[in-house]
Structure 1
Amino acid sequence: MQDCLTPDVYFVTGTDTDAGKTVCCQALLQAANRQQLSTLAYKPIAAGCELTQYGLRNQDALLLQKASSLTVAYELLNPIAFTAAIAPHIAAQLENKPIEQGYISQGLERLKSLQSQVIIIEGAGGWRLPLNADETLADWVAMQKLPVILVVGMKLGCLNHAMLTYETIISDGLKVVGWIANQVEEEMSFYAQNLALLKHKIHAPMIAEIPYLNNVSEQDLSSYVDFDFTNNKIM
């Protein structure tokens, strides 16, 4: 762990849109809080926002705001918000609001200045989320050289998605510091066998195994996380 002026930043990506990144980010924030570390979340891009009296608000971003130990204005946590629940680069075209990597970087630097010890960044969609016709969010993560946590939504088809995503992150020159098995279905056939293969194929520690839960936004998920943020290793 670095001093509080230089927070440890982790980028959380998923095997696909419905892998459960937000739930896993909630769990990571709660686990860091439990380790007596100050935390902030960053969801730079959110598509699928509701217009409120305070402006556009995304339910996932609000959940991450609640799970963070430090309080910041919503706009710092989620600077790029679109109404339509569609691919962000399409929403950006429709609203004539281009997504710029520099703007995302500025947002992260603002959060870094607020003296949190851990910042959890939730990506949007999967690893190769387009920002426009030429750039992806992965390009920004690579530019920032961020450590990555991979969320695997445990369901039929997850093996292929997980291995392809993991291999691509590595080929992009980044480190996967851990991965999370998130049970997005109440029952998955041969769950244990699928989990065993993922542990064999992903050469990074499984730092959390989150079961299928109801009303997950109201729960403390920290007990499912096995990661020491102070030393960046499994506990």
Structure 2
Amino acid sequence: MAKHTYFLTGTDTEVGKTVVTAAILKKASNLSLKTVAMKPVASGCELTAEGLRNEDALMLMEHMTEVLPYEQVNPIALEPAIAPHVAASQAGRQLSAQRLVGLARGLMMKPADLMLIEGAGGWRVPLNDRETYARLPAELGLGVVVVVPLRLGCINHALLTVEAIRHDGLTVAGWVANRPDEKPMSCEQETLDFLKGHMGAPCLGVLPWLPRLDIAKLAQELDIDPLLARAAVF
């Protein structure tokens, strides 16, 4: 059974959740920890000879230590690159929190030191007309890691996200600042200082923008000790 399991969310879509998840996996691997990860629902999948494949899920597979079949890492693969609930509807499928919880619990039974579950978009992304993705970590009682892109407006988005997470009864286990653009945002250090003083959770690292993605280099910028120090989730 996974000793530590966390849910990764972002303040919005396209903020670097997969890159951060992969970097945490790599950091844990550098510490000789066994890791598994999953992206339960992925839209924007490409049709291949093996079936639908998502580049984010493939990145997680590349950087986790344990070997899993693709279908266990990304059990619900959807082709359209749109919101998951719309993509599922167009594919004639129905998403539900109950199913995602069952899929996640199955993977949590695998022996590992660290398991990461990457969500889709932000905290309130819909699964259907009644449920949001937040139901998954809520049902499992998981700590949440928030990815914050360093761009204009990130303070508001970050504070609203952690407020919503705590309103749902969950703990923000940590957050990672990610530089998604080559040009640094104006007053970046002041923004970081404010977030560190108001997020109410440890900053696990500040990831730089790189002209070429290098997960190993990004992993060096992370401190995941706060994640490993928390009580295990069973």
Whether contact under 8 Å (1:15, 1:165) holds in the other structure is yes
Does the CA-based 8 Å contact 1:185-1:212 persist in structure 2?
yes
Contact 1:149 1:177 survives alignment (8 Å): yes
TM-score calculated relative to the size of structure 2: 0.94
Whether 1:215 and 2:212 are equivalent positions in the alignment is yes
Which deviations, in whole Å up to 9, do the C-alpha atoms of 1:188-208 show, x marking residues without a partner? 111111111111110101011
Aligned-pair identity (%): 42
Q: Tell me the residue number matched to 1:172.
A: 168
Q: Does 1:200 align with 2:200?
A: no
C-alpha deviations, 1:13-46, integer Å up to 9, x for none? 0000011100100111011111111001110010
Pairing 1:230–2:228 present: yes
Q: Does the 8 Å contact 1:15/1:162 carry over to 2?
A: yes
Q: Residue 30 of structure 1 contacts residue 220 of structure 1 at CA under 8 Å; is this kept in 2?
A: no
Mapped to 2, the partners of 1:220 and 1:198 lie a distance apart of: 24
Distance 1:35 1:78 in 2: 25
Aligned partner of 1:150 among 124, 146, 152 = 146
Long gaps (5+) in structure 2: none
- Superposed, which structure 2 residues align to 1:1-235 within 5 Å? 5-187=1-183, 188-216=185-213, 219-228=216-225, 229-232=227-230
Letter in 2 for 1:28: I
TM-score normalised by L of structure 1: 0.93
Alignment deviations for residues 108-133 of structure 1 (CA, whole Å, 9 cap, x no partner)? 12212221121011110000010001
Which sections of structure 1, spanning at least 5 residues, go unmatched? none
Task: Quote the Cα distance in structure 2 between the aligned partners of 1:10 and 1:217.
Answer: 23
User: Per the alignment, in what secondary structure is the counterpart of residue 17 of structure 1?
Assistant: coil
Runs of 4+ off more than 3 Å: 217-220
Pairwise CA RMSD: 1.4
